[in-house]
Chains A and B, each alone.
Chain A
């Protein structure tokens, strides 16, 4: 029995041994090439990346607005940023310095370590002094860097006993330093073995301030940017944690073009280069904007706002009607591009001027009477009126409603009315009663459809994340909380003259003007790559309007500017060969809340009041535990008005230029046909305040020929 069982046992052992031998032969003889290949990869160190500059953002003529320039990062060795291995690092350093540094010659290692520790403290103080920022900022930056490396360490710790690459590197503590700071850092800081000044780049604004909102910012990537990276599969082009990328404005929109391809150096353990890929700088992005025009328009806006009784802000947009290229996209006020990060906290607090608001595309305002253009085209196209349908202005829409639905003329000069109006004269006079009636005939649903055809309630295709949709108060929109109501016939009266819920951005209004001139709505174009490819989405389908309806409107808009008694005569051009057609608007405004009073209560029952702009700001000044906000009330509004008064209206003007010999109402020829929209917040009367700005813009355009030189898209 025993012998037989031993045989069984031997057979089992033989089987396992056979498997071991088979696998050995497989690994060491048959698959040997595969493992040799894998082995060769073992020896290659992980590549070192070479940074690459970002592409330049240029205007339509190729003039640079924002470009990368050489700068330096002041970097500190990781072991000095951390606390865990610092002493071991300093000890190794001390052994070496004792041999080579006369300062430490012949000293005890412990004494050298002590001296080095003091050096680190001195270094941080010097760094703060040289770079001109408080020491606490660098301590915080060191903390951020340390956290990042510790996260990596936790992720790979189970299989690495040695230092990670990140734990032996110099990490940037000051980024984008230039000039004097670099020079002093080199002379005063680089004597410490743990400090290095490393070449890098920084964003330099050549001419960025009047474009500040449009250009946007770069900043450190977040998790969402990493996840949505278009180059996620390209090891050299994809974003890595700690990289900078476009976060807003054009920097984000044109990110795929502007981002360069980093280079890589791979070395074997003996530091011989195995592979070297040179970095490729980012490509340039070309705006359709004209830098000179942008500057001019900014100046005009600034002057116009300054003359207002309640100066706040403004915006202006210029489009080329034929191509829908954006020639100017101006918001006033702007912020200073270069000092943005320093000023940010202050800029955010400015609730009165709101310099961070990109008014031209983000600001949604009631469009006021400029909206009457859409109402008219809608009424004519839907055949609820004809060009000659007479509608009477009696100063009031309904005699029984005495305090509402009145014509502006009746408000300003009680007793005065427009009498019988037809389409063209109603546009010229901007008669509220006429358009109340047309809106009433159309009804809210059809009116909303026409707003949407003219581009309201959706983006105009700039592709900027800042671009607002505006508001078209459709039945579905009204049914959502917090509104929860049905559209009513009276809504149509209000919306028809651009009041009530309907809201539009200056860009949308400018595109309405362009759509009227061209007889069709089309998406705008903003930025292209060097090869001419559009970077903003231009695939929204155009909407073509009934030419016979638009003709009436164009003729009306001609009369607004060029006929005695028109509301926009201040936009009449001085140039002889061209005329402006336009529409004014004075939209009822709401005062903004500049600050609130907050009543705070502590757990022990003490109360205090604080004036602040937001709840968070109200609590920011207090240490933990935070008090509770019991109540809040408006402390200050802008503009300041008496309780029964309204603040000045937002002043609008929209229009387009055409050759003087264009037949009245005909579709203008493509050359020198520019659409312009101007908005002055709390400006009062559109005809008095906004129209002159449009006139100045048009005059400059027609004498300087912004589009005459073809956009430069090659190398400059």
Chain B
């Protein structure tokens, strides 16, 4: 038994490890470059006590955010390895349970709007984090993403009811419940993120194209209504960025369009080859808001230019190809849906984040997977990745019995 488990762990596969490692390293380097705490140590005003604790010394040498992100990264890898141990099918049995359990913290976040709960704070006008001891804070909506994939895969795996229009209703309802709860936080980015996952899973599971097209068209038709009645002014302003970014009005660029303008300047001044690691005015003068999470792609482009951006794109492309190969090779419907769901989740986050950095999509709080700063997002992505690897490891799902295995074996 032990030997078999060891065997599985060694089949992690370089095809997934290389791009994820590349992304994580690029992310940590960019994060280190933007870590202002490093500079603060050199400033003459704040004194450096002689008896500095070694942890503080490390933090001041590398940067607080970088240290924390590295810790998240290591713990994320551990989480991924842990999620490899039980077979994905065994995990799949707990899908609905996990789904139900996660709805509780999401519900608490909604409840906090009406009753002030001590462990939920209002940060930047949103209730997204649940405070834990040790100064940690988790974002339940991030963990909802892999759980959503598990639940949908579980629901869709042996069915064909979704090939009728009424049969599409249950999977949509399953998605809508957490979506609406996350929308109330409010977190538009994560809310919208669940839709491509649902659609792509339905699509590859074989739902009729005209049904899906009908739903998409209905959604598109309702979009203006949502824009007018369902969105706050600041959300509208972020959507308006899409067409207003070409305005010659400099006051708009200095106010509502400020973040996008700064991101584009950071990318543009990077040019083809970039300013170099730790170089460039955006590193020196902190000119880009949210430079360490949502807009880290612009910082990468600033330091390493078009080359760096394309390298990040290639890394994600590798993830997609390896992931899809996993989906193709396995012939277990659950595993296949799981693999597709995970890949779509990662790649759609990545593309949306890049589009938003480039002014091709509205600016919603959307991290770049494995690169942006943020523990919850990183852990959720590693758990999802673990599910993918889990499917890959249990690849030889032959119809017949595996060799040398017998039913009466004990």
A binding-site residues for B, Cβ under 8 Å: 1-3, 5-6, 8-10, 13, 16-17, 19-21, 23-25, 27-29, 31-32, 34-36, 38-39, 42-43, 92, 95-96, 159, 161, 269
Contact = CB atoms under 8 A, between A and B. Distances in A.
A36 B317 contact: no
11 contacts: A6-B324, A6-B328, A13-B320, A13-B347, A16-B351, A20-B355, A21-B313, A25-B306, A28-B305, A38-B261, A95-B47
Contact of B287 (A16, A20, A29, A42): A42
B287 A35 contact: no
Interface string B250-291: 000001001101001101111110000000010011010100
B249 to A, nearest CB: 15
Interface string B198-214: 00100110100000000
Given A10-B320, A23-B360, A28-B270, 5 more contacts: A2-B206, A9-B203, A13-B351, A24-B310, A95-B45
B46 interface: yes
A24 B206 contact: no
Contact of B310 (A1, A21, A38, A96): A21
B324 A35 contact: no
Interface in B335-376: 336, 340, 347, 351, 354-355, 358-360
B269 A17 contact: no
Given A5-B203, A96-B45, A27 B358 contact: yes
A42 B262 CA distance: 9
A17 B350 CA distance: 10
Nearest to B289: A159
B245 to A, nearest CB: 11
Contacts of B281: 39, 42-43
A546 to B, nearest CB: 61
Contact of B258 (A31, A92, A159): A159
A24 B301 contact: yes
B309 interface: yes
Contacts of A32: 268-269, 271
Contact of B204 (A9, A24, A269): A9
A31 B351 CA distance: 22
B327 interface: yes
Contacts of A34: 268
Nearest to B355: A20
B204 A35 contact: no
Contacts of B324: 6, 10
By Cβ-Cβ distance, the 7 closest A-B pairs, closest first, are: A35-B268, A39-B269, A23-B358, A28-B306, A27-B268, A38-B265, A27-B267
A42 B253 CA distance: 13
Nearest to B306: A28
B360 A20 contact: yes
Interface residues of B, number: 44
Given A6-B327, A13-B347, A43-B285, A20 B269 contact: no
B264 A35 contact: yes
Given A16-B355, A24-B306, A1 B206 contact: yes
B228 to A, nearest CB: 23
Contacts of B328: 2-3, 6
A166 B289 CA distance: 21
A527 to B, nearest CB: 37
Among A1, A3, A9, A20, find the residue whose CB has the most chain B CB atoms closer than 10 A: A20
A161 B286 CA distance: 10
Given A16-B355, A27-B358, A92 B45 contact: yes
Nearest to B354: A20
B258 A28 contact: no
Contact of B301 (A28, A36, A161): A28
B378 to A, nearest CB: 22
B350 to A, nearest CB: 10
Contacts of A43: 281, 285
B362 to A, nearest CB: 15
Contacts of B313: 17, 20-21
A453 B45 CA distance: 77
Contacts of A159: 255, 258-259, 289
A571 to B, nearest CB: 64
Contacts of A21: 310, 313
Contacts of B284: 269
A38 B259 contact: no
A28 B272 contact: yes
Contacts of B360: 19-20, 23
A430 to B, nearest CB: 67
Nearest to B327: A6
A38 B305 CA distance: 17
Contacts of A28: 267-268, 270-272, 301, 305-306, 309
Contacts of A29: 271-272, 306
B266 to A, nearest CB: 8
Nearest to B331: A2
B203 A24 contact: no
B358 A20 contact: yes
A41 B255 CA distance: 16
Contacts of A36: 268-269
Nearest to B259: A159
Contacts of B269: 32, 35-36, 39
Nearest to A35: B268
Contacts of B270: 28
Contacts of B268: 27-28, 31-32, 34-36, 38-39
A5 B206 contact: yes
B103 to A, nearest CB: 29
A214 B302 CA distance: 62
A5 B336 CA distance: 13
A34 B268 CA distance: 8
Contacts of A96: 45
B306 A95 contact: no
B236 to A, nearest CB: 15
A155 B301 CA distance: 31
A8 B324 CA distance: 13
Interface in B360-401: 360
A23 B360 CA distance: 8
A42 B317 CA distance: 34
B289 A35 contact: no
A92 B45 CA distance: 6
A31 to B, nearest CB: 6
B45 A42 contact: no
Nearest to A93: B45
B89 to A, nearest CB: 19
Contacts of B259: 159
Contacts of B46: 95
Contacts of B354: 20
B358 A35 contact: no
Nearest to B320: A13
A17 B317 contact: yes
Nearest to B258: A159
Among A5, A28, A32, A269, find the residue whose CB has the most chain B CB atoms closer than 10 A: A28
A32 B354 CA distance: 18
B361 to A, nearest CB: 10
Contacts of A24: 267, 301, 306, 309-310, 358
Nearest to B305: A28
B86 to A, nearest CB: 26
A1 B336 CA distance: 13
B45 A6 contact: no
Nearest to B255: A159
